Amino acid sequence: MRSLREAVGRELAWKPRSLFSRTHELVDESGEGEPYATLVWRPGLLMRGPAEASSADGAWQFRHLGWFRAGVLVLAADGVTRLGTLRRHWRRGVLRFEDGREFTWRRASFWSPVWRFEDANGTPVVRFRWRFSFPRGSTRVDFESSSESVAELALLVCLGWYLVLDARRRAAAHAAA
């Protein structure tokens, strides 16, 4: 895998490997080279299984917390060391690391297909734009100029895709009910 530091300024997209695959890859839009990151969603009860993300910059696990005020637990690759917790609110969430640093996960507007992580000052770091395509959609990832100084960039990119997938799965479950 390649480092996400090399990708700043390029157009990347999260895409599933195949139609029914639980493995997603962050690839260059031009289709060149190996992926920058992967996310594998493990099976679980009611689509709440853990996900494992990896890139050249690190590896993490994401797990659901709670049912009503749902959140996401961010763990190191060992599955034990807690790195942070994302608590969801209506159209946003707050990712709080164990050392106290925070990033906000926010939707651009109610109908918008754009989500982003912002730093503590409200400056966007990375954006995710959902694109519908048949049979499965993808998400374009745009890095802001402020992303170069963010040490957790790879983690934010992987967690953001996990959150976009989770939102799509919950919307599909609500539509089917």
Instruction: Give the residue carrying structure tokens 């797990």.
Output: 63
Of the candidates 174, 175, 139, 144, the residue with the CA atom closest to the CA atom of residue 159: 139
Q: Which residue has the higher pLDDT, 76 or 92?
A: 76
pLDDT at position 47, please? 57
Mean pLDDT of 80-96: 91
Bridging pattern class, strands 114-118 and 124-131? antiparallel
- What is the domain partition of the chain in residue ranges? 4-176
- In tens, the pLDDT along 20-41 reads 788 999 998 777 778 999 999 8
Residues of the chain with pLDDT > 90: what percent? 44
**Ramachandran class of 114: left when φ > 0, alpha when ψ lies in -120 to 50, beta otherwise:** beta
Kindly indicate the confidence band of residue 140, based on its pLDDT and cuts at 50, 70 and 90.
confident
**Once rounded to an integer, what is the mean pLDDT over residues 142-169?**
86
Res 172: pLDDT: 66
Residue 45: how many CB atoms within 10 A of its CB? 7
| C-alpha–C-alpha distance, residues 112 and 46, integer Å | 26
Q: Whole-angstrom Cα distance, residue 113 to residue 37?
A: 22
